């Protein structure tokens, strides 16, 4: 049995739920454990029910579990909502002096606020007392915890948090050992980073040489802009908080036209406003990178919850036809590398590239090995080297024209958002229109060669689970657990969606006995895309569209119901 633990922190916005959750994740990462953590929060500054889940394991993890070992409840609502999720050997930590009349088993009542005042002189540090309590239960090393708090907070604040955590830790150690029987031990492991999907994408942009970002804040991608802004001086990046998404995309198109690696980040509602600018980039063959973090819609929908409902929108957004690439990272690690690749593809093919993620992956944290930046290669594509006559949209067999940067070379750079000739001048000539459309669309042949084939773990005669993007961790664990119970199940996962890898998907499906698509939407958008591109119909779709991510248990339940 692999050593692991699953902890939830629950409470209202403003009670320090995210702070404690993040510190728990960091603590287990320092202990050598693999960590996956996600957060669920309402779209309000204070109040509303929030929770943060942390799963730590000696084995790699990429999904949440449904059964809790420890629930840290900062209010009565958290106990009422999540009590049933606590396993038979699990416990609930709460402040019995603040939350009255709680009955039943699995309870550890500690005067969290009183201990915070006595130890640190600040009742607001009750959440740090709870942190010490939660880590004491499985046997976490106290010196490692105090070192983490000093590093995280620093100075006087660090010392006060140390005192508060020690109070909770020591009070808990006085409890009978039978209170919580699951014990963990430190493990030797290389130092790993704990980063969110958003942070990994921002780091990928820095590594790729992004020098300009314009965006309007929108959950769940706002942290990308915030992170890049915090590093702007260090890496020479200009970050513009635009007045709206229309301005943001047009600024990015302008920067890309001038030769700067540029990007924006938004969600579905913001991307709606960017669509005209996306078409401008397509017509003018300007490289831009757009990160679209999906959340539940339509309209405002569930603005802080997750969904995979924008796939067909992303593939077809903008009027008219022009090439684009769509990447869909499936893990925090892939978030970094997908953004690096997006910048290279955008400049190599002089076209928009979209990185599509969702709230679950963007806001979740995971331990990852340090990104090996020595493997980052910068491909700026076909550049104009002459100093004479220059045609921005020169006709080529590849569809890619040599690119000059305005004001940098002895070349007059002209382009037009109307249809244009090779020199970039407006035209309505039918023959030129045909040539320019064919030229632009020919880029798809090159793009297709640069797409990686899906993660194919299919074997002949087995049931095949097909997914894309953030569902990978849950699908992978579900398949593994089903195989342990003697079910013949495997998986095919897509993290680069357009140009669509039709041949690879069709081959994997042909080998399978049954095929199921797992996706976070109501209409089976990937299943429909597979049917359109391969002519093959999947046997069933396993769908979830309540704004919450998949768990392995939910997938297993649905597969067994389908008769695997």
pLDDT tens-digit map of 431-443: 999 999 999 999 9
SS3 category, 519: strand
3-class secondary structure per residue, 402-420: CECCCCCCCCCCCCCCCCE
Residue-wise pLDDT tens digits, 163-184: 999 999 999 987 755 688 899 9
Q: Which pLDDT does position 149 carry in this prediction?
A: 96
Structure tokens at 443: 């880029």
**DSSP secondary-structure letter at 160?**
H
Q: Which pLDDT does position 245 carry in this prediction?
A: 98
Please give the average per-residue pLDDT across 332-359, as a whole number.
98
Q: Which pLDDT does position 409 carry in this prediction?
A: 79
Sheet holding 325-327, edge to edge: 238-241, 212-215, 262-267, 288-294, 352-358, 325-327, 496-498
Q: Which pLDDT does position 177 carry in this prediction?
A: 57
Residue 448, sorted as left (phi over 0), alpha (psi -120 to 50) or beta, turns out to be alpha
SS3 category, 231: coil
Beta strand extents in 347-401 (DSSP E only): 352-358, 365-368
Torsion of CA 78, 83, 85, 88, to 10 degrees: 140
Instruction: Give the pairing of strands 34-40 and 365-368.
Output: antiparallel
> Using an 8 Å Cβ cutoff, are 278 and 318 in contact?
yes
Structure tokens at 132: 């010490």
Q: Which pLDDT does position 239 carry in this prediction?
A: 98
Q: Which pLDDT does position 87 carry in this prediction?
A: 95
Domains of the chain, each with CATH number or no CATH: 4-179 (3.40.920.10), 194-370 (3.40.50.970), 382-450 (no CATH), 455-561 (3.40.50.920)
- What pTM did the predictor assign? 0.95
Q: Which pLDDT does position 179 carry in this prediction?
A: 80
Q: Which pLDDT does position 457 carry in this prediction?
A: 75
Q: Which pLDDT does position 174 carry in this prediction?
A: 79
**DSSP secondary-structure letter at 423?**
T
Distance in angstroms between the alpha carbons of the first and the last residue of the chain: 25
What percentage of residues in the chain have a pLDDT greater than 90?
89
Q: What are phi and psi of 519, to 5 degrees?
A: -155, 150
Q: Which pLDDT does position 43 carry in this prediction?
A: 85
Query: Considering the chain, what is the average pLDDT of its residues?
Result: 95
H or E segment and range at residue 91: strand 86-94
Residue-wise pLDDT tens digits, 346-380: 999 999 999 999 999 999 999 999 999 999 999 99
H or E segment and range at residue 274: helix 268-284
Residue 386's pLDDT band, with cuts at 50, 70 and 90, is: confident
Please give the average per-residue pLDDT across 209-215, as a whole number.
98
Q: Say how far apart CA 493 and CA 484 lie, in whole Å.
A: 20
Q: Say how far apart CA 547 and CA 309 lie, in whole Å.
A: 10
Residue-wise pLDDT tens digits, 495-528: 999 999 999 999 999 999 999 999 999 999 999 9
Please give the average per-residue pLDDT across 52-61, as a whole number.
96
Better-scored residue on pLDDT, 100 or 499:
499
Residue-wise pLDDT tens digits, 266-303: 999 999 999 999 999 999 999 999 999 999 999 999 99
Give Rg (Cα) of the chain: 26
């Amino acid at each position: 049995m692999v050593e692991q633990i699953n902890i939830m922190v629950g409470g209202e916005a403003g009670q320090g739920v995210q702070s404690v959750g993040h510190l728990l994740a960091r603590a287990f990462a320092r202990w050598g454990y693999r960590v996956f953590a996600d957060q669920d929060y309402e779209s309000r500054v204070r109040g509303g029910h929030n929770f943060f889940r942390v799963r730590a394991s000696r084995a790699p993890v990429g999904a949440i579990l449904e059964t809790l070992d420890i629930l840290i409840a900062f209010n009565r609502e958290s106990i009422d909502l999540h009590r049933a999720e606590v396993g038979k050997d699990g416990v609930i930590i709460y402040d019995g002096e603040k939350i009255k009349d709680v009955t039943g088993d699995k309870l550890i009542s500690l005067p969290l606020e009183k201990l915070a005042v006595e130890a640190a002189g600040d009742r607001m540090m009750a959440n740090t007392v709870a942190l010490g309590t939660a880590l004491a239960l499985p046997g976490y090393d106290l010196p490692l915890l105090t070192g983490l708090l000093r590093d995280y907070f620093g100075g006087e604040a660090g010392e006060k948090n140390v005192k508060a955590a020690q109070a909770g830790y020591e009070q808990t150690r006085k409890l009978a050992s039978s209170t919580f029987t699951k014990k963990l031990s430190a493990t030797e492991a290389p130092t790993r980073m704990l980063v969110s999907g958003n942070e990994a994408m921002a780091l990928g942009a820095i590594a790729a040489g992004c020098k300009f970002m314009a965006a309007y804040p929108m959950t769940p991608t706002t942290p990308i802009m915030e992170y890049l802004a915090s590093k702007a001086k260090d890496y020479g990046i200009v970050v513009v908080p635009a007045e709206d998404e229309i301005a943001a995309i047009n600024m990015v198109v302008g920067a890309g036209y001038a030769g700067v690696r540029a990007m924006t980040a938004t969600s579905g509602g913001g991307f709606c406003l960017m669509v005209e600018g996306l078409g401008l980039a397509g017509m003018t063959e300007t490289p831009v990178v757009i990160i679209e973090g999906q959340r539940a819609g339509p309209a405002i929908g569930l603005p802080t919850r997750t969904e995979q409902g924008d796939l067909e929108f992303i593939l077809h957004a903008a009027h008219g036809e022009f090439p684009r690439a769509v990447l869909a990272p499936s893990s925090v690690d892939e978030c970094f590398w997908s953004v690096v690749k997006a910048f290279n593809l955008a400049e190599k093919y002089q076209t928009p590239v979209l990185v599509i993620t969702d709230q679950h992956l963007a806001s979740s944290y995971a331990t990852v090995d340090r990104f090996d930046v020595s493997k980052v290669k910068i491909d700026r594509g076909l550049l104009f080297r002459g100093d004479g006559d220059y045609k921005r949209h020169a006709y080529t067999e590849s569809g890619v024209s040599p690119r000059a940067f305005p004001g940098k070379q002895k070349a007059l750079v002209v382009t037009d958002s109307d249809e244009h000739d090779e020199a970039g001048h407006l035209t309505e000539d039918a023959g030129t229109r045909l040539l320019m459309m064919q030229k632009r669309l020919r880029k798809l042949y090159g793009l297709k060669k640069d797409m990686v084939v899906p993660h194919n773990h299919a074997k002949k005669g087995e049931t095949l689970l097909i997914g894309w993007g953030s569902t990978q961790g849950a699908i992978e664990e579900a398949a593994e657990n089903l195989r342990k119970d003697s079910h013949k199940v495997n998986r095919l996962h897509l993290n680069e969606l357009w140009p669509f890898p039709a041949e690879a998907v069709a081959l994997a499906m042909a080998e399978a006995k049954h095929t199921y698509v797992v996706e976070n939407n109501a209409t089976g958008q990937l299943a429909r895309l597979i049917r359109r591109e391969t002519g093959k119909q999947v046997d069933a779709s396993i769908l979830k569209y309540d704004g919450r991510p998949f768990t392995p248990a939910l997938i297993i339940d649905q597969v067994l119901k389908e008769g695997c």
